[in-house]
Structure 1
């Protein structure tokens, strides 16, 4: 059952299902009465509805902005279930998502793609499990794009960092709360593109560490304090 837990200041996190078979990313909310910022959309319309119910149960304000940390399906396929939000994302991700939106997503299409490339199997099986109705799925590119950095009216900073996991990887910084939301930025490439040499990009994390940021939150990992993040980088 989806549930929001408080991290620090205005930042709340709803963790994803830890079972790797489901490939379910967590989402975060930066709460603000002027309009909250939702970071990532959920992996499907049904997951987005679970997140909406968790928002209501926690008494948190509805989002006005939805920020994509990157274009991968488990972060964006829930966007079509979020009404009245401005979707913010990196220009590279916007291009990639326009191509994704044109694909004929369905069980027959997933099956055909896996037969073409067996390495897609785990990801595409997870997509089949995630989507209740293909008729309700619409892949949405961002409606507001940026290239380097963007500050939203509520003081939330969106910053492109790139990396090997996705070219459009973006972190979200909430300075007044001392929180940085990392998305998947430091993870190795997706499984179907990964080689045995690929590993977590700890150098990227090291570049992001900041004495003014006390918490670091990744999409598929528990929140880490600055001290724990430094220890992880140091090995």
Structure 2
């Protein structure tokens, strides 16, 4: 069931599905009466609509901004179902998404690409399961583009960290709530690009830890407290 849970301060989390074959990322809402910030869009228009229903169910303020943590499909394909939001993303992701938007997404296209490169199979099967109608899917690049760091009008900070998972990986910091949203920044590269030696980038997480931040949230993992994150790094 798609639903939001309060984490801390004005940060609410909507976890993704934990079935790895579905490749469904979680999203976050930073609630603010001046206009909320949605972090990632959902993996498809139908997933986005489920997220919208979950927001409505607990009467959270509608998002005014949508921040992409990176350009991968399970974080951005729902954006076309969020009318009226301004999309914030890194300049590298904007370039990549313009190329993605030009692809003829459809079941025949997915099949042809998997036949060309079998390693795309898990990701492309998940896309086929996620999208109810290819006619309603439009891949949207960000409209508000940044390079290094950006502070949004509600005091939320967006910072490019890069890494091997995606060149545009971005973290979102909510200082007044003591929360950092990590996206997939420390994960190894996607399966079709991964090598046997690729591992999670724990050094990246270590550089991000901050005594002023009490919660660290990844898109496909449960939230960790600062103490839990330090223990995981030490282990």
SS at match of 2:213: coil
Shift of 1:83: 1.0
For residue 115 of structure 1, what is the aligned residue in structure 2?
115
Shift of 1:59: 1.2
Question: CA offsets per residue over residues 86-111 of structure 1, 9 Å max, x none?
Answer: 00000000000000000000000000
Question: CA offsets per residue over residues 31-69 of structure 1, 9 Å max, x none?
Answer: 000000000000000000000000001111000000000
**Residues in 1 aligned to 2:27 and 2:10: alpha-carbon distance in whole angstroms:** 14
For residue 69 of structure 1, what is the aligned residue in structure 2?
69
**Residues in 1 aligned to 2:18 and 2:91: alpha-carbon distance in whole angstroms:** 30
Q: TM-score, normalised by structure 1?
A: 1.00
Matched, 1:147 2:136: no
Q: TM-score, normalised by structure 2?
A: 1.00
For residue 88 of structure 1, what is the aligned residue in structure 2?
88
**Residues in 1 aligned to 2:57 and 2:22: alpha-carbon distance in whole angstroms:** 24
Shift of 1:222: 0.4
**Residues in 2 aligned to 1:60 and 1:229: alpha-carbon distance in whole angstroms:** 29
Shift of 1:84: 0.7
For residue 137 of structure 2, what is the aligned residue in structure 1?
137
Q: Within 5 Å, which residues of 2 pair with 1:150-161? A: 150-161=150-161
Matched, 1:97 2:92: no
Q: Within 5 Å, which residues of 2 pair with 1:28-39? A: 28-39=28-39
Question: CA offsets per residue over residues 118-167 of structure 1, 9 Å max, x none?
Answer: 00000000000000000000000000100000000000000000000000
For residue 15 of structure 1, what is the aligned residue in structure 2?
15
Q: CA RMSD in A?
A: 0.3
Q: Structure 1 residue runs of 4+, over 2 Å off?
A: none
**Residues in 2 aligned to 1:6 and 1:199: alpha-carbon distance in whole angstroms:** 31
For residue 199 of structure 1, what is the aligned residue in structure 2?
199
For residue 171 of structure 1, what is the aligned residue in structure 2?
171
**Residues in 1 aligned to 2:27 and 2:118: alpha-carbon distance in whole angstroms:** 29
Unaligned runs of 5+ in 1: none
SS at match of 2:5: strand
**Residues in 2 aligned to 1:105 and 1:81: alpha-carbon distance in whole angstroms:** 17
Count of paired positions: 235
